[in-house]
Structure 1
Amino acid sequence: MKNISSVLEYHDRTKHRPHAYAASLGYMDWATQPDPYRRYHGAPLISLIHSEVTPPYHLLFQKDALPIAPLCIESLSMLLRYSLGLAAIKSHGGSSWALRCNASSGNLQPTECYIIAPAIKGLSEGSTLSHYAPREHALELLHTYDETLKEGSFLIALSSVIWREEWKYGERCWRYCQLDAGHAYQSIKIAGRMLGWECEILPSDTEEIGHLCGLDQYHRFHPHEIESPDMLIRIGKSNTSTLPITPSLPYRANTLSPAHHEWPILERIEKATQGIYPLPPPLHPTRDVPNPSKSAIDVVLKRRSAQMMDGSGITLEQFRTLLNASLFCTHASDVHFILFVHRVEGLEKGLYTYLRTSDDLETLKHAMDENFSWKDLGKGLYLLRSGDFRGAAQMVSCNQEIAKEGAFSFGMLCNFSSSLETHGAIGYKNLYHQCGAIGQMLYLEATSLGLSATGIGCFLDDEFHALLGLRDQQYQSLYHFTIGRAIVDTRITTLKPY
């Protein structure tokens, strides 16, 4: 109960409110901007292979449409390249910066990736622990195990360098780190589908994940740049769940910033949300197969966060396709959408809800404004109230115009109190991972349709809940989003990343 109290304290404290946003420095301290690339001094660097041959995007969603690739250096390279690798280099006014395949709040990229794999020719003759270096598209070899891991599968561990988001966003940053971890997981899942691979999150103890990757060897890290274990993912099929034992590692992590600002509540929420990773009950939807598409590489590498939308509309078919795509995130069953529909052909303007599972229909009706109409439009979509909600969408999104200039925007409304009751404090972390995974999926689906999307982490929590008539913490919105057509800044040059 103590840990849940810490979650509730953190969640309330880091809400944005009209009169005061969550605590942060309030300015960008450029002298301490974190290095976006983690490296381990002295670790052998194994270059990975670049491949630009990927299957059509739409085949990723057809069962058994693609052959299962063998685990080799080529396939592992492809998985990492199109999940966590660099997507493009942007340049403007003498400055340049890298974008990655996995979306990140402020492009700060707190997520780090570790691979635990059996012997792979070109990597090692033994089972290994390695760290992915996206700038070089290479693996840093951290350890070769004495014991041999079973063939047929391998593990990926994700962790977060909280400081990278803390530098800009202050106390609310922990929320964004968890969303980014969800984005990264879904990126891995999609890239795995290119290879015919299935991936699943294992119900592992975060303490064990930390030990497996050497993250609990704190002397190897700057004390303000510790990595927090998030989740352990298995790629492929295997009956074993025994983790290898990782000894003390000789490689020290690079220091990311010369100085740091402390936010003590971040250490408290991170400690509170450790434990056995929960697995919510999966969805079993009928996933509509997208229309024939371009190669998956053209979708993954062209995903962007729009900075401005042009105010144009989309078709009803596109809208339905986007909603349906979210169901591919089968373990994100605690998340529903509250939609501000502005410009969708065939739908009147208004406030809608999209239930990703019908289980919550009656409880949501009871929890929200009793005057909502709940007009059933089929396949989980309900009209709550007709009208022009562009002003409300902008207001709750910290007055960002992009929320009203998209074709629609929405908040991800989560089963909040029940998740904490069922899973404990770590359920809070899991909810953000669910939202982040859905966000990554919708980024890709929008890109495949010739549209653009933007995740919105800055929103007025309680004002959004009040708009819905929510009176308690049974449901809470944890991530907002907008989809439409972007206005492209032609002053910015796009270069190939490698």
Structure 2
Amino acid sequence: MKNVSSVLEYHDRTKHRPSRYAASLGYMDWETQPNPFRRYENAPLIPLPFSEATPPYHLLFQPDSLPYAPLCIESLAQLLRYALGLAAIKSHGGSEWALRCNASSGNLHPSECYIIAPPLKGLSDSPTLSHYAPRKHALELLHTYREPIGEETLLIALSSVIWREAWKYGERCWRYCQLDAGHAAESIRISAAMLGWECSVLSIDTADIASLCGLDQLHRYDPNERESPDMLLQIRKGSFTLPKTPELLYNANRLSHSHHLWPILEIIDTATQGEYPRPVIMKESRHTPSPTKSSGEIVLKRRSAQMMDGLGITLEQFRQLLDASLFCRDASDVNLVIFVHRVEGLEKGLYAYIRDLKELLSLQNSMDSTFEWAEFTEGLYRLRSGDYRGAAQMVSCNQEIAKDGAFSFGMLCNFSSSLERHGAIGYKNLFHQCGMIGQMLYLEATSLGLSATGIGCFLDDEFHALLGLRDQKYQSLYHFTIGRAIVDTRITSRQPY
């Protein structure tokens, strides 16, 4: 199929291997570190209000349990605050950096957000295109439309500044940009749920997203810092018409004074544009969390753990975490292979959590024929008993956090079938699905008083060999660990706004 060969070449080229990691500079060029905040020069800046009142976290997963908030500037402000806003300002040794509600590889935040809104009091009497500026919690007004677009719905477009990740991670960075887009999309979905709103990913050509947001007006961007369109989300039900965006007046700020180029990134990004796949929706989630604290508090407390303390968790917590992944009902191409280290009442070993049970037989036939497949409650199967802490650390580029958590896992994706169904853009979509699950598990871990960390550095084929996989039917695209974090008390934290 079209461009699939480019995907296969990139995927193999950017695998980490024991003798050779994917190409990168190999050091941190601090002189060219990108600005994490995109701004549009001279665009009108509209400050957004703040709201601290958010519903209990567990109510987000109970259908029709929350009132349907009106579409107004206050609701839009809350949506963006808890989806993509700043969570805290951290400082240590004279350095200061911002954390955001949506997780990001290396805290580099390639994802940018554009809002197409109907007339809203406090914003405009006409439909608008705006860019969200998280550092200021404000909207940069880029265009006001004359034609109506629909009164009851919001559209949110996500794009990636690939240079932000390339600066640190080189050729493998495109993978991380897509994972981050998935994190951002799920963060938006969770924030929308606080307002009683639905959020869905639209099947639309990425070229139309670029045109809608002015991303195809290339003269407005530094040639090495252009934004790649990722996906378009619809917030709330309602009919709409995509407006035609004319030439915009405002140019993007420059993020770095110089750049190191990786030609493969333009090849893979161009190859994976096109009609975004229509999501396949799984059955209703089994996720029924216990009553919890404010959802806003949980979102703002989410962190990526740097170290784990090696302590265990309960079987109930473990099961609740797994079931929380089912809330990502349109991430149907992802199942989990788990290294269980310290879960009370569960034997150490290698397990599989089959999120979509239709995949069970196919996975059994594809993986090591000596695996047990002993069932432990719905969807969870033990493949083999034993201490897999060393294997978990080895597979995760020798990072100790993978063995010191209560468990770690790889997200095993329907790789070849996704490419067959959707073409090259199916590759992008798989990473988005993994990022969505990752963001969901970050929040669920936080709600349980635990911590999580996404692991993008892993030895792809060593993990596949451990599972007995012999072809590209399944590929692991994201790894994760969950446990109890060791907090670095040298780092101080303050409110971001």
> Does TM, scored on the shorter chain, surpass 0.5?
yes
The Cα RMSD (Å) is 0.6
**Contact kept? 2:209, 2:232, Cα under 8 Å:** yes
For 2:117 and 2:2, locate their aligned partners in 1 and report how far apart those are by CA, in whole Å: 37
**For each residue in 1:323-362, what CA deviation from the matched residue of structure 2 results, as whole angstroms up to 9, or x when unmatched?**
0000000000000000000000010000000000111111
Q: Distance in 2 between matches of 1:267 and 1:168?
A: 17
Instruction: State the secondary structure of the residue aligned to 2:421.
Output: helix
1:481 is aligned to 480
Alignment deviations for residues 209-255 of structure 1 (CA, whole Å, 9 cap, x no partner): 00000000000000000000000000011133x31000000100000
For residue 207 of structure 2, give the secondary structure of its aligned residue in structure 1: helix
Q: Secondary structure at the match of 1:321?
A: helix
Alignment of 1:29-178 (within 5 A): 29-178=29-178
| CA distance in 1 between partners of 2:177 and 2:149 (Å) | 31
Aligned to 2:352: 353
Structure 1 alignment gaps of length 5 or more: none
Off by >3 Å, runs of 4+ in structure 1: none
Partner Cα distance (2:293, 2:266) in 1: 44
Q: Could you give the per-residue CA deviations for residues 246-285 of structure 1, whole angstroms, max 9, x where no partner exists?
A: 0000100000000001100000000000000002311113
Identity of aligned residues (%): 75
Whether contact under 8 Å (1:61, 1:287) holds in the other structure is: no
Aligned-partner Cα distance in 2 for 1:288–1:2: 38
Contact 1:393/1:403 (<8 A) preserved? yes
| Counterparts of 1:368 and 1:451, CA distance in 2 | 31
User: Partners of 2:278 and 2:286 in 1: how far apart?
Assistant: 21
Aligned: 1:293 with 2:292: yes
For residues 315 and 289 of structure 2, the distance between their equivalents in structure 1, rounded to whole angstroms, comes to 15
Higher mean C-alpha displacement, 253-262 vs 276-285: 276-285
For residues 286-332 of structure 1, give each alpha carbon's deviation from its aligned partner in whole angstroms, at most 9, with x where no partner exists.
43321110011110000000000000000000000000000000000
- Partners in 2 of 1:298 and 1:264 — Cα distance? 42
* Contact 2:17 2:459 (8 Å CA) reproduced: yes
Mapping for residues 185-264 of structure 1, pairs under 5 Å: 185-240=185-240, 242-264=241-263
Aligned to 2:316: 317
- Deviation string 1:189-224 (CA, Å, 9 cap, x unpaired) is 000000000010110100000000000000000000
Structure 1 SS opposite 2:212: helix
Residue deviations 1:58-84, cap 9 Å, x none? Answer: 111111110000110100000000000
Q: State the SS of the aligned residue for 2:88.
A: strand
Give the Cα–Cα distance (whole angstroms) in 1 for the partners of residues 39 and 217 of structure 2.
Answer: 15
Structure 2 counterpart of 1:429: 428
Measure, in 2, the Cα distance between the counterparts of 1:445 and 1:286: 14
Equivalent position SS for 2:83:
coil
Instruction: Give, in whole Å, the separation in 2 of the partners of 1:480 and 1:423.
Output: 24
How far apart in 2 are the matches of 1:17 and 1:93? 35
Kept in 2, the 8 Å contact 1:280–1:334? The answer is no
* TM-score when normalising by structure 1: 0.99
Bigger mean CA offset, 286-295 vs 300-309: 286-295
Cα pair 1:101 1:303 within 8 Å, conserved: yes
**Matches for 1:331-342 after TM superposition, within 5 Å:** 331-342=330-341
Partner-residue secondary structure (3-state), 1:428? helix
Measured in 1, the distance between the counterparts of 2:284 and 2:468 equals 29
Distance 1:56 1:64 in 2: 14
Query: Residues of 2 paired with 1:288 and 1:43: CA distance?
Result: 43
Which secondary structure does the structure 1 equivalent of 2:22 belong to?
A: coil
Q: Could you report, residue by residue, the CA deviation over 1:80-122 in whole angstroms, capped at 9, with x for unpaired residues?
A: 0000000000011111100000000000000000000110000
How big is the shift at 1:480? 0.1
TM-score w.r.t. the length of structure 2 is: 0.99
